[in-house]
Amino acid sequence: MVRTNKLNNFAAIKSNVVFIILSIIGVTAFCYFSHYSLIAPLIIVFIAFHLYYSQKTNPKIFLNLALLITLNVFLVNSLIEYTTIPYYAIPVASISMLTMLLFNDLELSFLISFINSLFAGMMIGQGYEIIIIFFLGGMMGAFSVRGARTRSHLLLSGFYVSAINILSLILLTNNFQFVMNKQFVVSKIYPLLVNGFVCAFLVAPFSKIFEHLFGVITNYSLLELSDFNQPLLKRMILEAPGTYQHSLVVSTLAESAADAIGANALLARVGAYYHDIGKIVKPEYFTENQSMDRNRHDDIEPSMSRLVIQNHVKEGIDLARKAGLNEKIIEFIPQHHGTSLMYYFYQKALEENQDPNMIIDADFRYPGPKPQTREAAITLLADSVEAAVRSLDEHAPTKIEETVKKIVNNKFIDGQLDECNLTLKEINKITLVFTKVLSSIYHARVKYPEKKNGNSNKKSPDKDSN
């Protein structure tokens, strides 16, 4: 196992080196033949080292960032060479906005803003002024689109980019009387005003293209997937209504917990919607869809029950792929169980088998993998906690709290959280949120007194309904 890990690490480092070398060669060739400064390749080298030592780099991310930088260089060079538009109107900030929407990472957005503004300034040749304006505009664009969920938010971000562009130019200009000059306004202020809105209009369509190209998912796509008119969700509502109700509660738990620890709450909610879609293939074999007087598993062997329960993961992945769901959502389907033990059927097999030693623990575990992200780990915990609390005979707050802590602790001890980056402090916060939300859902209701006779103490229907 150790040797395999070393070989995998060596292969990953080798791939990184190859991509870095190819990027440097490409940038060097472009700068040489276009008569631009050869300092650009050196900048790429230091950026690559920074990503490597900050543990953000892998061949895919580096290639994605290199493609965005290349797109910026191509865009700036084409506008300079083949158009007469003012330099201040070049939408450099659009790449920073795209980076934030695609990766939701402020550090990557900062690097992209710095590199792209520097390269654009070097190609335009207007000195440090335009570099600073493009950099600050790019950072404002990245900050303002973080968490964007609507088109109006994107347009507002464009306005912010324009505003910071103009403010930066004015502050860089020592002669404020010159700012009011008509020539200055037409040649610089107007182009910078248009710049931000052009960035917003470019980001809207290109975010969808790069989303598919890079295999990531934006808030806009997550909101589309949260629509209950989506085919898979409609099937779940009609064919597995119990699973649908279960998924709603899990999504509420997951979103609240993710928000509490600063994870992607929207991703957690949408992932929870789809985590159990495999159950629509055989809904009658899952507790939440069964009638009170019949359990299909009473008629079959525990080993067969194990296969049916395990298969809902595989069937869910197949359904999701056929429906064209994003891989970021599909990952929730196997990871929300991890390698957990199907305890009920494992115990049943031990009781029914004459030789308990013949029953292997590993046979009654889900295939995994364990959760790789905080959002998937939260969904795993929410799924287990919801099922356990729902099965309680008494839903007193103290009982709910005790059950939640027990379930979370068991998952932690079982190693299901080993491969995600949840901290103990975050796990404690998640436990508190789960307890609070479930206590609200299962809160005790006031019992209304029964009427002693039909003619006295009558209340209006409105009051009775309260």
pLDDT-derived band at 384 (thresholds 50, 70, 90) equals very high
User: For 208-228, what is the mean pLDDT?
Assistant: 91
Q: What percent of the chain has pLDDT over 70?
A: 84
Please report the pLDDT score of residue 62 as a whole number: 75
Query: Which percentage of the chain shows pLDDT scores above 90?
Result: 48
Mean pLDDT, residues 146-151 taken together:
83
Average pLDDT score over residue span 430-441: 95
- Quote the Cα angle for 417-422-426, to 5°: 120
Report pTM.
0.83
Q: What is the pLDDT of residues 155-178, one digit of tens each?
A: 999 999 999 999 998 888 876 666
Confidence check: pLDDT of 381 > 60:
yes
Listed residue (119, 94, 121, 97) closest to 195, CA to CA? 94
Residue 225 has pLDDT above 50, yes or no: yes
Which has more confidence, 277 or 37? 277
**pLDDT digits over 424-435, tens only?**
999 999 999 999
pLDDT at 281: 92
- Four-CA torsion 400, 403, 408, 411, nearest 10 degrees: -150
233 vs 357: CA distance, rounded Å: 42
CA 198/CA 77 separation, integer angstroms: 17
| 371 pLDDT above the threshold of 90 | yes
Distance CA 455, CA 466 (A): 21
pLDDT at res. 406: 94
Q: What is the pLDDT of residues 307-323, one digit of tens each?
A: 888 889 999 999 999 99
Average per-residue pLDDT for the chain: 84
Identify the weakest region by mean pLDDT among 148-162, 227-241, 292-306, 328-342: 292-306
pLDDT at residue 19 in the model: 62
Asked whether the beta carbons of 228 and 234 are under 8 A apart, the reply is yes
Which range is least confidently modeled, 100-109, 147-156, 263-272, 348-357?
348-357
pLDDT for 74 equals 85
pLDDT at position 4 over 80:
no
Higher pLDDT pick, 289 / 58: 289
295 or 204: which leads in pLDDT? 204
Q: Checking phi first, is residue 22 left (phi over 0); if not, alpha (psi -120 to 50) or beta? A: alpha
Report which of residues 149 and 48 the model is more confident about: 149
pLDDT of residue 5: 39
CATH class of 219-441: mainly alpha
> For the domain with range 55-214, which CATH number is right: 1.10.1760, 1.10.260, 1.10.10, 3.30.160?
1.10.1760
What are the sequence ranges of the domains in the chain? 55-214, 219-441
Question: Dihedrals φ, ψ of 341, to 5°?
Answer: -85, 135
Quickly state the pLDDT bin for 11 (edges 50, 70, 90): low
Among 163, 158, 129, which Cα is nearest to 144's? 158
Phi-psi region of 443 (alpha: psi -120 to 50; beta: other; left: phi over 0): beta
Q: How confident is the model at residue 1 (pLDDT cuts 50, 70, 90)?
A: very low
pLDDT (mean) for 344-370: 77
Task: Tell which wins on pLDDT, 37 or 11.
Answer: 37
Span 47-63, pLDDT tens digits: 777 777 776 556 677 77
239 exposure class (CB count in 10 Å sphere: 0-12, 13-18, 19+): middle
